[in-house]
């Protein structure tokens, strides 16, 4: 193992994802954080894409040390038999020497724009950090088949540096979507909102060897939003999309109208 400096006064950066600890995106994200602080990787041992904010409460969760290298050397890492939210909970409460200064999640294989935020394990790792009071950023690359994570890694480093410098308001995390373009071809950073969108879905029905039907979710994504400043619009125009999101799902603008219903009638 490479010799390590005393990192006690450096920021502590926790790195997680939903594609699994051996995915290329988390390797690129860890490499991108190299030198910004002490790094600790805690990520699912198996892919957990689209598990949303699921947590494991009926089974034991195991964490085993995992060999993980960044350019400057070996960093501590654990592979966890759980979800992204489990990873962040376990890391912050148990595995890390102290509360991290920043949690970064990704770099996800595929976008997490618009309604997909709600299904995303990548975003949920960052959301869990925000719930626990730690600044957090989720990073996604807008290409399901990407192999080159060099450009999004450079973007992630710039954004992590900014967040370490500025800090985030309590309860707010950043959801970053990065176009799959060479770094030089990106047109800049855009602060955006989630586009209105939905999936037009269908199920493929097949029969298993026991003659029982099974179903496989299929569908295509529809952008319903022609408005300005959307995450989808930004990435379509080669801007990095930065959306501040929060986990308080209360629809405050509807509180008064709903109070006016005669609930005790
Ligand atoms: Mn994923």
CA of 169 to the centre of ligand 1 (A): 26
Pairing of strands 136-141, 172-178: parallel
pLDDT band at 8 (very low <50, low <70, confident <90, very high): low
CA of 205 to the centre of ligand 1 (A): 25
pLDDT band at 1 (very low <50, low <70, confident <90, very high): very low
Separation of alpha carbons 107 and 33, rounded Å: 12
CA of 258 to the centre of ligand 1 (A): 37
- What would the pLDDT profile of 18-77 be if each residue is shown by its tens digit? 999 999 999 999 999 999 999 999 999 999 999 999 999 999 999 999 999 999 999 999
Kindly state the DSSP code that residue 154 receives in the 8-state scheme.
H
**Other C-beta atoms within 10 Å of 57: how many?**
7
CA of 46 to the centre of ligand 1 (A): 11
pLDDT at 3 over 60: no
CA of 60 to the centre of ligand 1 (A): 23
pLDDT at 6 over 60: no
Per-residue confidence (pLDDT) for residue 15, from 0 to 100: 98
CA of 123 to the centre of ligand 1 (A): 9
CA of 260 to the centre of ligand 1 (A): 42
CA of 71 to the centre of ligand 1 (A): 24
210 with 135: CB under 8 angstroms? no
Q: Give me the phi and psi of 21, to 5 degrees please.
A: -70, -20
The length of the chain is 265
CA of 45 to the centre of ligand 1 (A): 13
What domains can be seen in the chain, in order of their start residue?
12-195+225-259 (3.40.1210.10)
CA of 47 to the centre of ligand 1 (A): 7
CA of 120 to the centre of ligand 1 (A): 7
Q: N- to C-terminal Cα distance for the chain?
A: 70
- What would the pLDDT profile of 97-128 be if each residue is shown by its tens digit? 999 999 999 999 999 999 999 999 999 999 99
């Amino acid at each position: 193992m490479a010799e390590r400096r005393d990192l006690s006064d450096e920021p502590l950066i926790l790195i997680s994802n939903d594609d699994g600890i051996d995915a290329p995106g988390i390797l690129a994200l860890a490499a991108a954080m190299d030198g910004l602080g002490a790094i600790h990787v805690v990520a699912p041992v198996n892919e957990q894409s689209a598990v949303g904010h699921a947590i494991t409460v009926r089974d034991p969760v195991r964490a085993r040390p995992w060999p993980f290298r960044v350019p400057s050397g070996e960093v501590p890492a654990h592979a966890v038999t759980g979800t992204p939210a489990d990873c962040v909970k376990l890391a912050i409460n148990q595995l890390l020497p102290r509360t991290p200064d920043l949690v970064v999640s990704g770099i996800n294989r595929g976008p997490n724009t618009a309604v997909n935020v709600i299904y995303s394990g990548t975003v949920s790792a960052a959301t869990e950090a925000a719930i626990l009071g730690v600044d957090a950023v989720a990073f996604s690359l807008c290409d399901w088949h990407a192999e080159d994570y060099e450009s999004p890694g450079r973007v992630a480093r710039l954004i992590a540096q900014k967040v370490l410098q500025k800090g985030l308001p309590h309860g707010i995390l950043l959801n970053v979507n990065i176009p799959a373009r060479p770094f030089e071809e990106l047109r800049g950073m855009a602060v955006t909102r989630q586009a209105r969108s939905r999936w037009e879905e269908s199920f493929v029905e097949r029969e298993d060897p026991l003659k029982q039907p099974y179903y496989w979710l299929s569908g295509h994504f529809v952008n319903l939003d022609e408005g300005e400043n959307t995450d989808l619009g930004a990435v379509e125009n080669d801007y990095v999309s930065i959306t501040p999101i929060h986990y308080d799902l209360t629809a405050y603008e509807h509180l008064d109208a709903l109070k006016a219903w005669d609930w005790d009638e």
